[in-house]
Structure 1
Amino acid sequence: MSEIIVPASAMRSYRRWLPLLVVLTAQLMIILDSSVVNVALPVIQHDLGISQASLTWVINSYLISYGSFLLVAGRLGDLVGRKKVFLSGVALFTAASAACGLAGDQAVLIVARFAQGLGGALASATVLAFIVTDFPQPRERARAMSIYLLVTVGGGSLGLLLGGVLTRALGWHWIFVINIPIGVLALLAGAALITERSGSGLRRGVDAAGAILVTAAALVGIDAIVRASEHGWLSTYTLGLGAVSVTLLGAFGFRESHTPNPLVPPRILRLRSLVGSSAVRAVVMAGMYGVFFFGALYLEEVLGYDAIRTGLAFLPQTLAIAALSFGITTLLVSRFGPKQVLLGGLAVMLSGLLLFAQGGDGEHVHYFPALFVSFTLVGLGAGAAFMPLLTMAVADVAPADAGLASGIVNVSMQISAAVGLAVLGTLSTKRTATLVAEGHTQIAALAGGCRLGLLVGAGCVAFGLLLAAAVLRPGRASAEPVGVPKQLADEAGLAEPSASAP
């Protein structure tokens, strides 16, 4: 019997794509969990007898811990090994999901949600780093990033549908319980398939003070943001916490510029591609999250959709992202370059948001064609824009700093989402109250509030489009494997590498 000979290149590819499937499965679990909870909130409130004020902490406790620990989690992976950090995060997220599913009172649920956020940060902060280090070739990296973005962006709308189905069929506990078998599978597969790459080590010490300062700044700042709608943007609470957060951030910056082993090396902040793309992403994601929030609110409260119909309404957006993620965006980037594809995608996304805002100006709007086309355009725009934006972000990042860069990318998304929803939600609520005071019906006023939120979200995307045109330049990723010179310099023990020319 003749032996089957597998080419070495195919075997190497196989060994890289299977671990990616594992980490993306965990990422999907985390993304789904962040959106399925939104659908189940009314049922959770009734079942556990939670007040409206306390109910917000079911969401906020997760957002605060998740967003606050991303940066430190990413750097920890660079230092001690990303496999260890990833598996620790999945284990904590799975255990916390079990605690959420078994929760019989609000205190247990809120504490378990905080633990979920911490576990999610540890796992998510390493995913992009795996892609950067395991896929150095531009074409393969672009393909891997497309799938990563499909999971990250498309998973949110799938979560709305899944949350509605599970809550109605089995009860709200199952939106957490379903994470247990997925998490266990990801743990076992990750332990077997992911190859540990030694981190840079702790031999020069750990910047514990810097980690504490930046985490505290994020904790305080995000808490101020997510509770601004409750206390008011100009309240003593919000302004006071904002001032504390800025002070802590300033102390962190001073610390990093004077310590020999900083948590965030200055060379990272000199990378124009990373910092510029993070700024663009932050602005655009504020508008993108407005689609989920105001879209779901409009469909359920104005048009009377149930949770399942709302999830189905978002499917064109998810399917459009999926269609572009399997090669089309990669081909477009190869043909026209990442910046041109990014600008085109943002323009398409903007048109979808504007169409949605125009179509969302009443309670008798039909889903076809206006809303269907709106969701499709937003999905096509996101599918075209986010992959080249992510490619440019990591184009000049050395593999040794990939975890930190991953943390910066994720932090820009999470904080912008929190800020965007808080600001847009406040403006929308005030607009709704004004329309009610002017004599409009509650539904008509709510439709007007959603419309304003969508218009402001469209303004965020428009600003992101202008910002991208002004500050972003394609990195070296489009021309050569990324990070090899820096990696060789690091391994040779040369001096700290300087930022590449943008």
Structure 2
Amino acid sequence: MSQSPVTSLAPDPQRWKALTFIAIAQLMVVLDATIVNIALPSAQEDLGISEGNKQWVITAYALAFGGLLLFGGRIADLWGRKRTFVTGLIGFAAASALGGAATGEAMMLGARALQGVFGALLAPAALSLLAVMFTEAKERAKAFGIYGAIAGGGGAVGLILGGFLTEYLNWRWTFFVNIPFAIIAAAGAYFVIREPSEGRNRSPLDIPGVVLSTLGLVALVYGFTRAESDGWSDAVTVTMFVASVVLLAAFVVTEAKVKSPLLPLRVLTERNRGGVYLSLGLAIISMFGLFLFLTYYLQIVQNYSPVKTGFAFLPMIFGMIVGSTQIGTRLMTRVPPRLLMAPGFLLAAVGMLLLTQLEVDTSYAGLILPAQLMLGLGMGTAFMPAMSLATHGVEPRDAGVASAMVNTSQQVGGAIGTALLNTIAASATTAYLTDHAASATTPAAQKLLAAQSMVEGYTTAIWWAVGILVLASAIAFVLVNTGADDGSATASSDGEGVEDAVKIPVVAH
């Protein structure tokens, strides 16, 4: 077996300090996906945002972020990861200041879209910096353990922080809180990060690829967002899905033919990365659905305050941190990634399975707490090797766009999860109400029926989420076949070394 050339980069002595600032930036981006949700009712009332337009506070961010991620990843490869990272942070801070100071609907929606634009620069640059800075196996395991814990638990942190800021200050602080995060991370990154000079992508930008991928992803994310509010058979929803299929198919054809593609198909066709993108996207579908339903259940059915609801997610965060930084980090250099990812997703599915037993008066300590611990442990254990493997063996010049694909799978997964599972829950709730309406003859009985029907909707959707997690586990087990990351060339199941199979220098692994 011939050995491919190995590019050896001298490790940056300040890379652990750099990780601190990358982690701060990643936390800011991830928590921003949920922190605004809790503040939305207050912001809607203050700014006079109509009921029909309130979803755009969330959607404007999701469309810009999801649609521009591949473009942002390639910009990082072309322009430099550190420069793109710092620019994204400064822009995100400015957009957050604009959102916090918003005086009306248009200003708020514009600020949210700008946050999405700069987030699409920032997120892939952060992950690709980790990929090229941490090349030694044990150090890489620790670095990605921290990153994986933040990527998995940041959404729950957003719920806690959003509840606290909304209840004790006001909704504007859910935007202003980003500014110190961004300033600290940008200043630290500017002075500390020493990006390896090798691997800069000097090829011209693939403009057709940018246009097709951006429009295709925007159509896809908007299609799922529209399905949630207007139904799957709505004409605009169907049109968006058809348009996304056509545009993304055209994008793939274009990438196969152009000399310098935005997303080289080699990034997708390597089976381990493909398995990571697919299983991670499916897991995120389940996670976003759970955040949504558990938040509703605790606030509406159990009458928790926003702050109490946020703190109710702490066991999940604790589980993710332990799973990612202790289990995943310690085992990644000893066992193949699929033996962490597949069991991790299965353990999360068992935790989710417990939550199908929710009732109106379910005990938090007796059911919800252990379910969250299992879910967090499983997701943390699976996310950690998944994040590392997503940039496994990738050429340095493709690190940005490979990282962007991780964020894209998460963003699209989140959009699908929110729309699909919410639709399933709504249908089950309506069916339960219809079947039992005749028995609710008093106001007290009607109130109880309303709560029972909501819980029936949540548990029905959670059953689907369990199935999706089992599928994610199966995909990870079947497709991910690389060996343990022990710092040497790892063998794939067909007997070829991974580095030989993809014919690239081992700079990002």
Compute the TM-score of the two structures, normalised by the length of structure 2. 0.90
Q: Following the alignment from structure 1 to structure 2, what is the Cα–Cα distance between the partners of residues 14 and 317?
A: 34
Partner of 1:106: 105
Which of 408, 426, 450 does residue 429 from structure 1 map onto?
426
Q: Secondary structure at the match of 1:77?
A: helix
State how far apart, in whole Å, the 1-side matches of 2:186 and 2:258 are: 36
- Distance, in Å, in 1 between the alignment partners of 2:483 and 2:120 is 27
Q: Counterparts of 2:468 and 2:433 in 1: how far apart (Å)?
A: 27
User: 2: distance between equivalents of 1:350 and 1:373?
Assistant: 13
| CA distance in 2 between partners of 1:442 and 1:102 (Å) | 38
2:394 corresponds in structure 1 to 397
Matched position secondary structure for 1:337: coil
Structure 2 residue 44 is matched with structure 1 residue 45? yes
Asked if the contact 1:220–1:245 (Cα under 8 Å) also holds between the matched residues in 2, the reply is: yes
Contact map agreement 1:277 1:468 (CA 8 A) in 2: yes
Distance 1:13 1:190, change over 3 A: closer
Which of 459, 468, 479 is matched with 1:460 structurally?
Answer: 468
Secondary structure of the structure 2 residue equivalent to 1:257: helix
What is the Cα deviation at residue 24 of structure 1?
1.2
- What secondary structure is seen at the aligned counterpart in 2 of 1:363? coil
- Please give the alpha-carbon distance, in whole angstroms, between the structure 2 residues aligned to 1:476 and 1:412: 24
Alignment of 1:378-417 (within 5 A): 378-417=375-414
Aligned residue for 1:327?
326
Counterpart of 1:141?
Answer: 140
> Is the CA contact 1:86–1:122 (under 8 Å) kept in the aligned structure 2?
yes
CA displacement 1:181-212 (0-9 Å, x = unmatched): 22122222221112244475675422111111
Matching of residues 163-182 of structure 1 within 5 Å: 163-182=162-181
Write the distance in 2 (CA, Å) between the matches of 1:73 and 1:196. Answer: 17
Contact 1:48 1:106 in 2 (8 A): yes
Q: Secondary structure at the match of 2:131?
A: helix
Q: Secondary structure in 1 aligned to 2:257? A: coil
How far apart, in 1, do the equivalents of 2:336 and 2:124 lie? 27
Partners of 1:400 and 1:379 lie apart in 2 by 34
Q: What is the alpha-carbon distance in structure 1 between the residues aligned to residue 217 and residue 25 of structure 2? A: 24
Shift of 1:293: 0.9
Change (3 A) 1:120 1:203: closer
Matching residue of 2:184: 185
Q: CA distance change for structure 1 residues 307 and 384 in 2, over 3 Å: closer, same or farther? A: same
Q: Matches of residues 46-61 of structure 1 in structure 2 within 5 Å? A: 46-61=45-60
Please give the secondary structure, in 2, of the residue aligned with 1:334: coil
- Tell me the secondary structure at the aligned position of residue 410 of structure 1: helix
Contact 2:275–2:479 at 8 Å: present in 1 too? yes
For residues 316 and 191 of structure 1, the distance between their equivalents in structure 2, rounded to whole angstroms, comes to 35
1:349·1:379 contact (CA, 8 Å) conserved in 2?
A: yes
For 1:289-300, list aligned pairs within 5 A.
289-300=288-299
Matched, 1:357 2:356: yes
Report what 2:74 is aligned to.
75
**Is 1:273–1:396's contact at 8 Å kept on the other side of the alignment?**
no
Secondary structure (helix, strand or coil) at the match of 2:303 reads coil
Distance 1:311 1:202 in 2: 42
Contact kept, 8 Å, 1:297 with 1:450, in 2: the verdict is no
Distance in 2, Cα, partners of 1:13 & 1:192:
13
CA contact (8 A) 1:37 1:175 kept: yes
Residues 208-266 of structure 1, C-alpha deviations (whole Å, 9 max, x = no match) = 11111111111122111111122221221111111111111122122112211111123
- How many angstroms does 1:481 deviate by? 7.1
Percentage of pairs with the same residue: 33
User: Hey, what's the Cα distance between the residues in 2 that align with 1:250 and 1:499?
Assistant: 30
Q: Output the amino acid matched with 2:475.
A: L
CA drift of 1:168 comes to 1.1
CA distance in 2, matches of 1:355, 1:327: 24
Partner Cα distance (1:337, 1:204) in 2: 35
Question: Deviation at 1:400?
Answer: 2.1
Say if 1:39 and 1:164, in contact at 8 Å, map to a contact too: yes
Displacement of 1:398 in angstroms is 2.0
User: What pairs with 1:196-215 in structure 2 (closer than 5 Å)?
Assistant: 196-198=195-197, 203-215=202-214
**Contiguous gaps of at least 5 residues in structure 2:** 1-9, 438-448, 491-496
Query: What's the CA shift for 1:498?
Result: 6.9
Change (3 A) 1:203 1:117: closer
* 1:163 Cα deviation from its structure 2 partner: 0.7
Report the Cα distance in structure 2 between the residues aligned to 1:244 and 1:420, rounded to whole angstroms: 20
In structure 2, relative to structure 1, the CA distance for the partners of 1:414 and 1:475 (3 Å cut) is farther
Residue 149 of structure 2 contacts residue 325 of structure 2 at CA under 8 Å; is this kept in 1?
no
Q: Distance in 2 between matches of 1:140 and 1:12?
A: 11
Q: Write the distance in 1 (CA, Å) between the matches of 2:280 and 2:325.
A: 22
CA contact (8 A) 1:214 1:249 kept: yes
The answer to whether 1:470 aligns with 2:478 is: yes
- 1:235 maps to 2:234: yes
Distance 1:392 1:326 in 2: 16
In structure 2, relative to structure 1, the CA distance for the partners of 1:231 and 1:192 (3 Å cut) is same
Q: Secondary structure at the match of 1:53?
A: coil
In 2: Cα distance, 1:478 partner to 1:218 partner: 36
Unpaired segments of 5 or more residues in structure 1?
Answer: 1-10, 490-495
Cα distance in structure 2, aligned partners of 1:118 and 1:294: 28
Aligned: 1:448 with 2:445? no
> Distance in 1 between the 2:82 and 2:489 partners?
23
Aligned counterparts of 1:206 and 1:12: Cα–Cα separation in 2: 30
Deviations 1:141-192 (A, max 9, x none): 1111110011111111111111111111110001111111221222222211
Q: 1:23: how far off?
A: 1.4
Native 8 Å contact 2:342 2:472 kept in 1: no
